[in-house]
């Protein structure tokens, strides 16, 4: 009886050995693939010339952005039907144009302003002379493009939340801001009678 048990265990181990070998083979293939991917990634990073220090890369990108912005102008009051090619033709006399960008909203409609990037910074001074010139019957406003500083957002007031005690939009205001009785208190909302200052 005990010999039968030993034979069954030996039979089970003989069957599981090929499965174990297959699993080891697949594991070896996966490790080889991972090593190949790491080599490829290192090769791409070396070709791209990536910098290991993130603060140095952000400083370099900020300096690059400032250099590009020094060669660019902001063009306001651009007609909504105007194409980048027409803006390029309008500023062609100033110098060689690298890029024309007409900003659009999330629905694809133009916002009414554009950026023109030149190859030389001398062309920016020429482009500023086209301030108040007309394109498509609209008077353009041309200024030097400013560089946005990261983390320095302009203050935008929060919209009042009607659930936090602010009056909802379109709520009727009191018809008067000062007390009609001459007590000098400023009343913004009418008070219920039980909280009246008179009694």
Angstrom distance (rounded) from CA 191 to CA 167? 14
Rg of the chain over Cα atoms, rounded to whole angstroms, equals 36
Whether residue 51 is predicted with pLDDT greater than 80 in this model: the reply is no
CA atoms within 13 A on the CB side of 132: 0
Pick the residue with more confidence: 19 or 191? 19
**pLDDT for the residue numbered 27:** 92
- pTM for the model stands at 0.50
**pLDDT for the residue numbered 42:** 86
Whether residue 125 is predicted with pLDDT greater than 80 in this model: the reply is yes
**pLDDT for the residue numbered 41:** 87
Q: Which of 102, 90, 54, 94 is nearest to 71 (CA)?
A: 94
Reported as a single tens digit per residue, the pLDDT across 141-160 is 999 998 877 666 666 666 66
Helix (H) or strand (E) run with residue 86 in it:
helix 84-91
42 is written with which tokens? Answer: 């290192």
Angstrom distance (rounded) from CA 79 to CA 112? 6
100, 84 contact by CB (below 8 A): yes
**pLDDT for the residue numbered 187:** 47
Reported as a single tens digit per residue, the pLDDT across 66-87 is 888 899 999 999 999 999 999 9
**pLDDT for the residue numbered 133:** 94
78, 138 contact by CB (below 8 A): yes
């Amino acid at each position: 009886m005990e010999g039968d048990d030993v034979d069954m265990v030996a039979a089970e181990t003989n069957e599981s050995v090929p499965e174990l070998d297959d699993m080891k083979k697949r594991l070896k293939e996966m490790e080889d693939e991972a090593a190949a991917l790491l080599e490829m990634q290192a090769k791409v990073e070396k070709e791209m010339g990536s910098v290991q220090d993130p603060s140095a890369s952000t400083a370099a990108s900020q300096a690059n952005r400032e250099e590009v912005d020094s060669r660019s102008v902001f063009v306001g009051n651009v007609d909504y039907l105007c194409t980048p090619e027409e803006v390029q033709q309008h500023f062609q006399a100033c110098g060689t144009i690298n890029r024309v960008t007409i900003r659009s909203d999330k629905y694809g409609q133009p916002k009414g302003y554009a950026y023109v990037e030149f190859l030389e910074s001398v062309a920016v001074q020429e482009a500023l002379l086209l301030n108040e010139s007309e394109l498509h019957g609209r008077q353009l406003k041309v200024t030097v493009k400013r560089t946005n500083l990261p983390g320095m957002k302009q203050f935008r007031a929060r919209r009042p939340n009607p659930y936090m005690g602010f009056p909802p939009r379109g709520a009727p205001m009191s018809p008067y801001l000062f007390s009609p009785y001459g007590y000098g208190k400023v009343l913004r909302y009418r008070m219920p009678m039980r909280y009246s200052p008179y009694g």
